[in-house]
């Protein structure tokens, strides 16, 4: 299977040329996307053309747009099947590790392969903090445990192009969108080494702005579910307020939430899309737990509205636990 290295580049250094030279020697087709670096970098991209196809545009659009631009070019110019491995232009990814993740993708063409760095005290603090936050949010959102959420070294086959090309991210958040969208598929992490030059000074990652941008993707991904939950809570209040029995209100509002959430997740392009079987089982368990907890809270004197609020918050935790269990047993 043909292997293609896709390198998004913004204001790169000469290290990029040496990396793509080695990849070319190893038989990779190399595609470099100049993400609006400007004329000051003409010499670097001219040198890169000896070993790679270089596509340039201006102004700067962001890493996500560069990756999607490169994938569209590959889709037009290369005949499937093939493996695409993305690597950063700053030279922090070793050629040996690029080969390692691409080989893993060849063995698992339906999976997203992530190069997993060991983020210890020698790693830049912004990388450790950023990965720590997104690691927790990813686990809470999807039920999956991934150690390395922000690695730029990834590999996947043409089979995953249709889903990745429709994702909304433009800058670094696009890489979060990729792992969120692939949460219902198989994600494999491969241990790699990462070389940092001058404490990663060549990185264009903006610690504050880009961390906020990355983490808001989790909220956007869950927004249909949040809206469905709020609508269900409103229905519960209305039924009880107009004299309905709390248990009937609980069942009806939960069923309404289940249907609305499922419908919204199907029509919204960037939203969680769990397998139907897993979704129905999860929803059934949550409904039973919701009724049971509310009955217990009301039995000790809590009023119906407070009980519903407490139970609703608890059901978020219950859903997380169920998702985690299903991910471990790969229940579909």
pLDDT tens-digit series, residues 29-70: 999 999 999 999 999 999 999 999 999 998 999 999 999 999
Q: Do residues 230 and 257 touch, judged by C-beta distance below 8 A?
A: no
Ranges 67-71, 253-257, 318-322, most confident: 67-71
Average pLDDT over residues 103-123: 84
Domain containing 285 equals 222-329
**Number of domains the chain is built from:** 2
281 and 307: one domain?
yes
pLDDT for res 330: 61
Domain boundary among 174, 205, 236: 205
252 and 320: one domain?
yes
Q: Do residues 146 and 239 touch, judged by C-beta distance below 8 A?
A: no
164 and 260: one domain?
no
Residue 278 has pLDDT above 90, yes or no: no
90 and 37: one domain?
yes
pLDDT for res 185: 75
Q: Do residues 58 and 36 touch, judged by C-beta distance below 8 A?
A: yes
Residue 206 has pLDDT above 60, yes or no: no
Residue 275 has pLDDT above 70, yes or no: yes
Q: Do residues 40 and 16 touch, judged by C-beta distance below 8 A?
A: no
269 within some domain = yes
78 and 192: one domain?
yes
186 and 237: one domain?
no
95 within some domain = yes
pLDDT for res 125: 63
Q: Do residues 196 and 101 touch, judged by C-beta distance below 8 A?
A: no
317 within some domain = yes
Lowest mean pLDDT among 54-68, 139-153, 178-192: 139-153
Q: What mean pLDDT, rounded, does the chain reach?
A: 86
Domain boundary among 171, 205, 239: 205
pLDDT for res 208: 53
148 within some domain = yes
264 and 171: one domain?
no
Average pLDDT over residues 275-280: 81
Q: Do residues 104 and 188 touch, judged by C-beta distance below 8 A?
A: yes
Q: Do residues 9 and 33 touch, judged by C-beta distance below 8 A?
A: yes
215 within some domain = no
């Amino acid at each position: 299977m043909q292997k293609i290295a896709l390198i998004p580049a913004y204001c790169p250094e000469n290290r990029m040329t040496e990396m793509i030279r080695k990849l070319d020697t190893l038989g990779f087709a190399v595609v470099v996307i100049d993400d609006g670096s400007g004329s000051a970098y003409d010499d670097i991209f001219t040198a890169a053309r000896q070993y790679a196809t270089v596509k340039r545009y201006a102004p700067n659009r962001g890493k996500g747009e560069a990756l999607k631009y490169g994938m569209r070019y590959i889709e037009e110019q290369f005949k499937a099947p093939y493996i695409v491995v993305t690597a950063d232009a700053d030279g922090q990814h070793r050629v040996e590790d690029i080969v390692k993740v691409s080989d893993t993708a060849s063995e698992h063409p339906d999976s997203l392969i992530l190069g997993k760095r060991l983020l210890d005290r020698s790693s830049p603090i912004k990388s450790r903090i950023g990965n720590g936050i997104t690691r927790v949010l990813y686990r809470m959102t999807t039920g999956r445990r991934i150690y390395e959420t922000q690695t730029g070294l990834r590999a996947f086959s043409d089979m995953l192009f249709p889903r990745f090309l429709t994702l909304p991210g433009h800058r670094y958040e696009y890489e979060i969108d990729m792992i969120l969208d692939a949460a219902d598929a198989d994600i494999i992490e491969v241990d790699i080494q990462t070389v940092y030059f001058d404490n990663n000074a060549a990185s264009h990652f903006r610690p504050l702005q880009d961390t906020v941008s990355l983490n808001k993707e989790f909220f956007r991904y869950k927004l249909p579910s949040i809206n469905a939950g709020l609508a269900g809570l409103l229905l519960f209040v209305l039924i009880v307020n107009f004299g309905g029995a709390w248990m009937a209100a609980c069942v009806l509002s939960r069923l309404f939430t289940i249907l609305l959430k499922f419908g919204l997740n199907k029509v919204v392009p960037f939203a969680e899309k769990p397998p139907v079987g897993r979704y129905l089982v999860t929803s059934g368990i949550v409904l039973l737990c919701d009724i049971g907890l509310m009955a217990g809270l009301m039995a000790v004197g809590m009023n119906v509205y407070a009980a519903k609020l407490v139970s609703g918050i608890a059901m978020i935790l219950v859903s997380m636990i169920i998702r985690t269990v299903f991910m471990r047993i790969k229940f579909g």
